[in-house]
Amino acid sequence: MEHGSTAPLITVNAKGSFWVHAKDKNGCINSDTITVKTIKELPVISLSAETVLCSGKSLVLKAPAGMQKIRWQDGSSANLFTVTNGGRYWVTVTDSFQCSNSDTVTIAMIPEPGRFLTTDTAICRFDTITLRSSIPFDKYLWNDGTTLPALIIGMAGSYSLTGTDRYHCEWTQKMSAIIQDCSYSIFFPTAFTPNGDGLNDVFRPKPFGHLQSFHMDIFNRWGQKVYSSDDYATGWDGTIHKSLQGHDTYIWIAKYQFPGQIQRTEKGTVVLIR
C-alpha cells in the first residue's frame, strides 16, 4: 500500500493517487489504484445566533438549501423548523456528495412577566396620577409615544405600556382610568415630639388629595420665622440652623390649593414637646 502501510485500511484526506498491492494466502498478487481529484467541504450550517425565545413568540430554524437529506431532532425533514418552546434543537444535513454536517442550538424560554401596570383606576377631577411600571425595563413605550419610565395622566381613557427587557422581549399591558369627584381636605397636627424615636418627630400637614400648591411659615412666640417651605412632605423637625428649639407653642400660616379649587389660607398653633 502507498506510504508503506500494511494495514487493510487507510484514511485519505488529501487529493492524489493511492494504490495498493495485495497477496492472498496462495501467493497470488494483484493491485489497484484510485485517484482522488476533489476534496468537498462539509455543508455549511448555522442554525441560529439567537439563544432566547420570548413567551408567546416563535423562532424559525433553517437548514441549508439544496441538501439531499435533512434530519431534525424530532425526525422531521423539512428545510424549516419552527420553535415555540425552549429546549435543545439539532439538525444533520447531507449533500449530494454524501457529505454530512450537524449543528445544535439551545433555546431558553423567557416567561411573560407578571402584572407590571396598574389595573383600572380612578382619577380625582382636576387631579393627576402617575402610571409607572412595577418592573424595570430597558425601554419603555407608552400609547402616546413617550418613552419615559412613568406617565402622568389627568384624563379618563385607555392607556398601555410596552416594555422591552434585556432579552429584547416586548411585553404590553393595558389599563383604563375614569374620572371621579373627590373630597379634598388637609389636617394639621397640634403637637409633635422631635426626640428621634421615629414617632411624630416632624410637624407636617396630611393632605387628603393632591395639592396643586403649598407654602407654610412657622414663627416662634417672638415673631421670628423658624421654618419656611413649599414642600408639605418635608415638615419642620424642631430646629433652626440645626439648633434644637425648646418646648414651646409655635404659630404656623399655610397657603395651599387643591386642583380646581381656590387658594386657601389657614393659621394655627403647634406645640413642640421635648
DSSP string over the chain: -GGG--SS-----SSEEEEEEEE-TT--EEEEEEEE---PPPPP----S--EEETT--EEEEPPTT-SEEEETTS---SEEEE-S-EEEEEEEE-TT--EEEEEEEEEEEPPP---S--SEEEETT--EEEE-SS--SEEEETTS--SSEEEE-S-EEEEEEEE-TT--EEEEEEEEEEE----EEE--SEE--SSSSSS-SB--EEES--SEEEEEEE-TTS-EEEEES-TTT-B-SEETTEEP-SEEEEEEEEEE-TTS--EEEEEEEEE--
143 and 159 Cβ atoms separated by less than 8 Å:
yes
pLDDT digits (tens, 9 = 90+) for 58-108: 999 999 998 999 999 999 999 999 999 999 999 999 999 899 999 999 999
Cα(254)–Cα(156) distance, integer angstroms = 32
pLDDT digits (tens, 9 = 90+) for 200-243: 999 999 998 888 999 999 999 999 999 999 999 999 999 998 89
- Which pTM was predicted? 0.58
Cα(248)–Cα(59) distance, integer angstroms = 73
Residue of 113, 120, 111 whose CA lies nearest to 85: 111
pLDDT digits (tens, 9 = 90+) for 1-56: 446 677 778 777 777 777 787 878 888 888 888 877 677 788 889 998 888 999 99
Cα(28)–Cα(41) distance, integer angstroms = 39
Specify the pLDDT at position 248. Answer: 95
Domains within the chain, CATH numbers bracketed: 2-36 (no CATH), 52-110 (no CATH), 121-180 (no CATH), 185-272 (2.60.40.1220)
Specify the pLDDT at position 273. Answer: 93
Specify the pLDDT at position 181. Answer: 79
Instruction: Give 180's pLDDT tier (boundaries 50, 70, 90).
Output: confident
Specify the pLDDT at position 37. Answer: 67
Instruction: Give 112's pLDDT tier (boundaries 50, 70, 90).
Output: very high
